[in-house]
Chains A and B, each alone.
Chain A
């Protein structure tokens, strides 16, 4: 079964065609890397799935149903590369996670357990404005993964993370994929974190090339240098 399916989508932003007649399919329970050079349209592709940018042509479905705010909110967890949140907002880390949990049907762990999982328990009483870039990234990842959703879309999740936090996140994602059967799409330009046995999508010049990571990376080496 396909968790996400895009058929012939075209995205035009500011009179520039970013995606042209693009097809994409993510099988349920797959772990896929979406790669491409800067400006190739990776984030735009993700945002079109999430209805954050409009498509001019084509169709998108989530578990065989046309995409809608309802099935996005019930099925997809999303981490934005540049979240549009207000960092000056006087909210503490635990309040933020609590707020995110309040919108979920089910949060598998308590707020403390969840923060502990991401090595962020010691900053739970800090306000967002007091966090470093890496700490904020950990908190935002924790927020994105608070619910128990079927699909995780993470746009450059390793940005600002130190090596220890990066390892921890990879471990958590592996658990979610292997043990809980989550469908995971990771947007990255960093080849070093890509497991060569997983699926890979390479976005170049508005077209998407799919296959096993090892093969796709070998064929499109120049696209990500």
Chain B
């Protein structure tokens, strides 16, 4: 228990809870909009921001944030402009960003260690500034969804009908994709680029599996996400394993269990 009094452990737990809330909130919309690939793509595209940050000596997460917002903006803009499937468009644009990032990284020396923290994440090295950033994002997301919740749900569920009801569907799509991209960047620090999709998707998909109606989906997603994070972090401390991987493991097992629950126990 003594270990819990250490500031970096306390920050890790606080960060895990804040991130769990943030990712569970937007994860629901990622799952319902069938945009699982988008979250992965944003994470990979943001490597360009990380590379730029490392190259220019600017805090990489800030530039990753800028690049992620730019990526979301480009995708939303071109979605209705080109006659190709959305996932094809995402695949092409994120590869472009990723390729540029890799080229820049190849020209930047001594970045191996820093880059690893973005690939695999490290909750135990989360700084007070990063906590503040995540907290602000959570506050912003909550206020935004509080004000526009029904519009966002309508846009997600039936965009054509939402338009006919006077809802600004395109603006909402920009905002959803931008908030989602920011959330992805915030989660990179905790679980890393490779595993963040699972942190975003697993609790929301679990909630979607067991909820009886839409009203239950977000609270369930938040609850599952927080529990996965706290249990995962505790296991990481007890067994000296990577925190991000441990959290993702718990969240993914919970999702698989919810699938079995749905198959064998749900009426």
User: Which A residues are closer than 8 A to B by beta carbons?
Assistant: 50, 52, 69-70, 72-74, 76, 78, 80, 83-86, 89-92, 95, 99-100, 102-104, 125, 127, 143
Contact = CB atoms under 8 A, between A and B. Distances in A.
A89 B159 CA distance: 13
B154 A99 contact: yes
B194 interface: no
A90 B160 contact: no
B: contact size bracket: 20 to 34
12 contacts: A69-B166, A70-B166, A72-B166, A73-B166, A76-B164, A83-B158, A84-B161, A90-B32, A91-B214, A92-B213, A95-B214, A100-B161
A91 B213 CA distance: 5
B165 A90 contact: no
A100 B165 contact: yes
A91 B154 CA distance: 11
A188 to B, nearest CB: 20
B contact face: mostly helix, strand, loop, or mixed: helix
B165 A89 contact: no
B208 interface: yes
A89 B215 CA distance: 12
A90 B166 contact: no
Given A73-B165, A103-B167, A86 B158 contact: yes
A95 B163 contact: no
Enumerate the 6 nearest inter-chain pairs by beta-carbon distance, A residue then B residue, closest first. A73-B166, A85-B158, A103-B165, A92-B213, A91-B214, A84-B160
A84 B169 CA distance: 14
B147 interface: no
B223 interface: no
B162 to A, nearest CB: 8
A73 B164 contact: yes
Given A84-B160, A103-B166, 10 more contacts: A74-B166, A80-B161, A83-B160, A86-B156, A95-B215, A99-B153, A99-B154, A99-B157, A100-B165, A125-B213
Contacts of B156: 86, 89
A85 B161 contact: yes
B153 A90 contact: no
B217 interface: yes
Nearest to B168: A69
Contacts of A100: 161, 165
A89 B32 contact: yes
Contacts of A85: 157-158, 161
A103 B211 contact: no
Nearest to B213: A92
Given A90-B213, A99-B154, A52 B160 contact: yes
Contacts of B158: 83-86
B150 interface: yes
Nearest to B214: A91
Nearest to A50: B164
Contacts of A102: 150
B207 to A, nearest CB: 9
A83 B161 contact: yes
B73 to A, nearest CB: 22
A78 B208 contact: no
Interface in B132-190: 150, 153-154, 156-167
